[in-house]
Amino acid sequence: MYILNAQQIRAWDAYTIHNEPIASIDLMERAALKCVEWIEKQNWQKKAIKIFCGKGNNGGDGLAIARLLFELDYTVSVYILEFGKAGSEDFQINLQRLHEFLFTDIHFLQAKEHFPLINTNEILIDALFGSGLSKPLEGLSADLADHMNHSKALIVSIDLPSGMFSDQSSKENKVVEADHTLTFQCYKLALLMQENALFFGKVHLLDIGLHPEYLKGQNFEQVLVEPNFIQQIFKPRPVFAHKGKFGHALMIAGSYGKMGAAVLAAKAGLHSGVGLLTCYLPKCGYTIMQTALPEAMVLTDENETIVAQLPNEIEKYSVIGIGPGIGTAAETQNLISFICRRYKKPLVIDADGLNCLSLQKDLLQQLPPYSVLTPHPKEFDRLFGEHGNDFERLETAKQKSKQFSLIIVLKSHRTAIVSPTGKIFFNSTGNAGMAKGGSGDVLTGIITSLVAQNYSPESAAILGVYLHGLAGDFAANALSEQTMVASDIITFLSRAFLSLK
């Protein structure tokens, strides 16, 4: 699924109006009907519904929803934010239609004193401002957002929570805090950003039948990764194959007290299909790894507690994964520096591997092309400087991915895989139960394994993140988000792979 910006969505609306053809007021009616269908499924017939409308097309949606609910015998009242401007044409048509239905519970909000009392068991529908918002809420509109937020009533926002920008950060702005957001046709970038999670609640995507031909031939940069997209990437194993067909990965991991990270990464790699896996560990990790994972081969550094020296013949490995649990000792930093200069195939770097890079930023220019970096936001900022919000971070990821020819996996609830081509792939799987130590090590093992199996680094990152999240979803469903741990993600990888067949 493509992720369109506000301008592209307006163009898609216009294309549909011209080519279906359909009048804009009828397209608005179609959107309102979809919202009412969703509301009908919530069993709110006995609850009072207050609908707050601006005077643009988002407000027009709200007025159409009010009329349709009124026809279905819901208890509905409408509150129109009055800020001196005439309403849009479709807003005015829907207001007239309400009058024609003899609907009289309409109130114009010209000052804070006019704000209604709100009971906690009422439903509020936020149709004040949609994706076309051009400036932060201020004055009466900001006061109304505050009034709604403090009510403790359940809030449903139409298109986007009012006050939220579609394509840029709304941090520090006043925004309606929705429990549910009913958005139309495709995800907006704002609904994928961690910093906005407090405001949009649960997102429900409503298909309002925008003309599919508009999407053909367009080069959209942002994609939401869904099962049909993954099916195009996934490569079933040939019947006549042997272990040599699926690569030989080297995993450089572990230090004293952090051997669990090495075990998790190695185990995830083997459970993701790599043909052979060699782990390069400090001496203290030898018995641990051989006991925990007999399928893995082990090489040890001469150092007892850290990895410090370059392993022999690194060129023979299909891919090298670096970072889980290695620490940031000076000797380990030197090891990473040697590998960056010597190894010519893509690396997969996570955790302390990234922290070592952040201490030697000149190494970014020496990384093999199409290496995969998997930072969480703090690791990203250590590498590329502090950022004020998620949108800035994403923009920097695009720039650095292109500058250094890297695949950057920017981890969050909706992890973004950023390609040097400028494409950004947002993952659609995963849950809060995965926000625990070790989950990133598991992801490193999965991606490393997929690169070894001759997936392109970009495809390996997209597929790896998707499978990681999907296995996490299966684990959460079986065990609960609270009790699942990182090793459970590995356990449920089998179910994630089986779902692709």
Is 298 strand, coil or helix? strand
Which among 373, 375, 385 has a CA at the least distance from the CA of 420?
373
Question: What pLDDT, on the 0 to 100 scale, is given for residue 352?
Answer: 97
Which among 499, 496, 428 has a CA at the least distance from the CA of 268?
496
DSSP calls for 161-189: -TT--SSS--TTS-----SEEEEESS--G
Q: Is the pLDDT of residue 73 over 80?
A: yes
pLDDT tens digit sequence for 396-450: 999 999 999 999 999 999 999 999 999 999 999 999 999 999 999 999 999 999 9
pLDDT tens digit sequence for 460-495: 999 999 999 999 999 999 999 999 999 999 999 999
Q: How far apart are CA 177 and CA 155, in angstroms?
A: 7
Question: What pLDDT, on the 0 to 100 scale, is given for residue 480?
Answer: 98
DSSP calls for 61-119: HHHHHHHHHHHTT-EEEEEEE--SSPPPHHHHHHHHHHHHTT---EEEE-SGGGPPP--
* CA atoms within 13 Å, Cβ hemisphere of 347: 25
pLDDT tens digit sequence for 36-48: 999 999 999 999 9
Which among 32, 21, 100 has a CA at the least distance from the CA of 60?
32
Q: Check if the beta carbon of residue 262 is closer than 8 Å to that of residue 325.
A: yes
Band of residue 385 on the pLDDT scale cut at 50, 70, 90: very high
Q: What mean pLDDT comes out for the span 308-317?
A: 94
Q: Of 63-67, 82-86, 336-340, which range is least confident?
A: 82-86
Q: Is the pLDDT of residue 84 over 90?
A: no
Greatest Cα pair distance in the chain: 86
Q: Is the pLDDT of residue 216 over 80?
A: yes
Q: What mean pLDDT comes out for the span 290-308?
A: 97
Output the average pLDDT for the chain: 97
How far, rounded to the nearest angstrom, does the alpha carbon of residue 93 sit from its chain's CA centroid? 38
Q: How far apart are CA 89 and CA 10, in angstroms?
A: 16
Q: How far apart are CA 72 and CA 66, in angstroms?
A: 10
The tokens describing 73, both together, are: 């015998």
Band of residue 240 on the pLDDT scale cut at 50, 70, 90: confident
Q: Is the pLDDT of residue 86 over 90?
A: no
Q: Is the pLDDT of residue 217 over 90?
A: no
Q: How far apart are CA 437 and CA 167, in angstroms?
A: 32
Q: Percent of the chain at pLDDT above 70?
A: 100
The tokens describing 413, both together, are: 């609830």
Fold entry, domain 6-220:
Rossmann fold (3.40.50)
Question: What pLDDT, on the 0 to 100 scale, is given for residue 114?
Answer: 95
Q: How many CB atoms lie within 10 A of CB 311?
A: 18
Alpha helices in 234-376 (DSSP H): 259-270, 286-292, 330-342, 352-358
Question: What pLDDT, on the 0 to 100 scale, is given for residue 219?
Answer: 85
| DSSP secondary structure code for residue 299 in this structure | E
Q: How far apart are CA 322 and CA 205, in angstroms?
A: 39
Higher pLDDT, 85 or 137: 137
CATH superfamily of 227-234+247-498: Ribokinase (3.40.1190.20)
Counting every residue written for the chain, the total comes to 501
Per domain, the residue ranges of the chain are 6-220, 227-234+247-498
pLDDT tens digit sequence for 15-30: 999 999 999 999 999 9
Q: Is the pLDDT of residue 293 over 80?
A: yes
Q: What is the pTM of this model?
A: 0.95
pLDDT tens digit sequence for 104-124: 999 999 999 999 999 999 999
